[in-house]
Chains A and B, each alone.
Chain A
Amino acid sequence: MLLEIRDLDVRYARTHAVKSANLDIKEGEIVTVLGANGAGKTSLLRALQGAVKPAGGKIRFAGEDITHMSPADRVRRGMMLVPEGRQIFVSMTVHENLLMGAYLRQDGDWVRDLKEVYERFPNLANRRDMKASTLSGGEQQMLAIGRALVSRPRLVMLDEPSLGLSPLFVNNLFELITQLNRDGITILLVEQNTGMALEVAARGYVLELGSVVLSGTSTDLSQNSALAEAYLGGGHAKTSQTA
């Protein structure tokens, strides 16, 4: 098991964002976490990367207890979160943004990984020395994913990557996610675009008000009509037009 989450609790001052959640992600899988706004998906991912301290529970990555590790130590071990809204550094150039992905790399191999990112995203290579603020929404998402890849992650966690992208770009994005998975990267995908997410993922979890209320293979989940109505606010029917 690459990532084991046991009884994870995340609390903020007034809200109990994640309530004793249990999730498992095997090496090489694509797993999706679905749920309506405010279901606790982002809180879950931020706790996994170490940006918020869990109030309880355990997180194990590749067999090692990482519950109390800093985000930096988790990055060193191969976890990388691509946050909601991309969060690229708009005052930096495309190239500098990618270098930030290699911030903790001690080995010299990151140069090769950076080259691979440029080969994977020729658009970024063409805009290498331009300010990241000049990129389109889709290119910014590519940059955010490229930045994550330069850290050579074993697990990439994507928080709503399709948000605000044109339908064409959404297709490219999900194509890219399967490609990355084929290249050996395990993916944890948080999405509101339920249809697309279940298409690329092997398994999924459904969060509601912080708790895991459903889990299963993507086929099971997509045939579960109660899911669409009860937990996703009709999102399943809406997915074809989201983006």
Chain B
Amino acid sequence: MLLIQQIINGVMLGSVYVTMAVAFTLTIGVLNFLNFTIPTLFMLAGMGAWALTAKGVPIIGAPLIPVVIAPIIAIVTTIAASLIVERFTFRYLKMKYGDSTEHAIPLVSSLGFLLIIENLVRIAYGTDPQRFTALEADFTFDIAGLMIRVPQLASLMISIGIVFAVNRALNHSRIGRGLRAVAENPDAANLLGVEANKLVPVIFMLTGLLCGLAGILFAMNYGEVSPQMGEDIGSKAIAGMVIGGLGSIWGAVIGGLIIGVAEMLTIHLFGADTVQVVVWGLLLVMLFFRPQGLLGHNSIGKGKL
């Protein structure tokens, strides 16, 4: 029974990884670049929502924002931050130096943004984790002896819902088709009049939305935020994405859930110290036997959605 409980907890935790793994997948699939700002955007939403309720609007200091509104402002801020990152890493540097085959520059500059934003938050609010209990509405219900926490269930449903929505938009909208065309064959898309530089901000907006949501859901579930909260979650989301298969949205979903369950089971069976060994060991085993991941295409990193 305890084992089943751990699996349920793992699925709930996995939903946070799922949301972020999908964000990573979108940028890799369409732009063929690993966006390192994703963990920071996740943190920005969580810390932002906390700061707005506990410390008030940054710089001005007041007023304290009600807990119902703060998450929405935090998510909008995260989307805006993601667009700023796009403007000053991807678009500017690519226009100036890179051609379509140059991926190192956006990658390194996104890493720069990661460190800058994270440290700005540290300077403003310190490195200590902050209790963020306001969001932690702890309703629990009990099904046949299994404890299901309402916020976790809600976050699982919101995660899966948003992934469905993103997937549907990619498959059934004009912009979605344009993005898939750019992902598969940028040259052919260009010849048909698809303007990639107009579509790239859409990817960054979705990235901001997904990370913002994940950050808030995480805060809701664990009642704690910190400037470094994105690092661990972000790296596990990357592991989940690779296990599920690069470039596949449903792969990211499955991979994220696998990591969540593996993490909870490891804690249950061997203790918290062994989590990283198991998660990254799982990744290495997967890369060894099935480098394309569970649902991935045959070649790693080939831009496809």
Contacts and interface: CB of A to CB of B under 8 A. Distances in A.
**Do A and B come from the same complex?**
yes
B250 to A, nearest CB: 14
B188 interface: yes
Contact of B190 (A51, A90, A96, A99): A51
Interface string B176-196: 011011001101111111110
B192 A100 contact: yes
B174 interface: yes
Nearest to A70: B195
A103 B194 contact: yes
A91 interface: yes
Contacts, number: 61
Interface stretch (A71-79, A198-206, A231-239): A71-79
A75 B192 contact: yes
B236 interface: no
Interface in A56-113: 70-72, 74-76, 81, 83, 87-92, 96, 99-101, 103-104
Nearest to B188: A87
Contacts of A90: 184
Given A70-B195, A72-B195, A87-B185, A92 B190 contact: no
Contact of B192 (A91, A92, A96, A147): A147
A89 B176 CA distance: 14
Interface residues of A, number: 24
A234 B174 CA distance: 47
A49 interface: yes
A188 to B, nearest CB: 14
A146 B202 CA distance: 29
A75 B185 CA distance: 18
Interface in A23-56: 49, 51
Interface of B: 174, 177-178, 180-181, 184-185, 187-195, 304-305
A151 interface: yes
A99 B177 contact: yes
Contact of B194 (A49, A72, A76, A96): A72
Given A76-B193, A103-B178, 20 more contacts: A51-B190, A72-B194, A75-B192, A83-B187, A83-B191, A87-B188, A89-B180, A89-B184, A89-B185, A90-B184, A91-B180, A91-B184, A92-B180, A92-B184, A100-B178, A101-B192, A103-B174, A103-B193, A103-B194, A151-B192
Nearest to A101: B192
Nearest to B174: A103
A129 to B, nearest CB: 12
Contacts of A81: 191
Nearest to A75: B193
B191 A71 contact: yes
B179 to A, nearest CB: 11
B98 to A, nearest CB: 15
Contacts of B195: 70, 72
Interface of A: 49, 51, 70-72, 74-76, 81, 83, 87-92, 96, 99-101, 103-104, 147, 151
Nearest to B176: A96
A156 B131 CA distance: 64
Nearest to A86: B188
Contacts of B305: 91
A81 B192 CA distance: 8
A71 B187 contact: no
Contacts of A88: 188
Most A-side CB within 10 Å, residue of B174, B185, B188: B188
Contact of A51 (B180, B187, B194): B187
16 contacts: A49-B191, A51-B187, A71-B192, A71-B193, A72-B194, A88-B188, A89-B180, A89-B181, A91-B180, A91-B184, A92-B181, A100-B181, A101-B192, A103-B174, A103-B177, A103-B181
A140 to B, nearest CB: 12
Contacts of A74: 193
A151 B194 CA distance: 12
B193 A72 contact: yes
Most B-side CB within 10 Å, residue of A83, A89, A96: A89
B96 to A, nearest CB: 16
Given A90-B184, A91-B184, A100 B177 contact: yes
A78 to B, nearest CB: 11
A104 B181 CA distance: 14
Contacts of A147: 192
A89 B303 CA distance: 13
Contacts of B191: 49, 51, 71, 81, 83, 87
A51 B192 CA distance: 10
Contacts of A87: 185, 187-188, 191
Pairs A-B, 5 closest by C-beta atoms: A75-B193, A72-B193, A87-B188, A104-B193, A89-B184
Most B-side CB within 10 Å, residue of A51, A71, A75: A71
Contacts of B189: 100
Most A-side CB within 10 Å, residue of B180, B189, B191, B305: B191
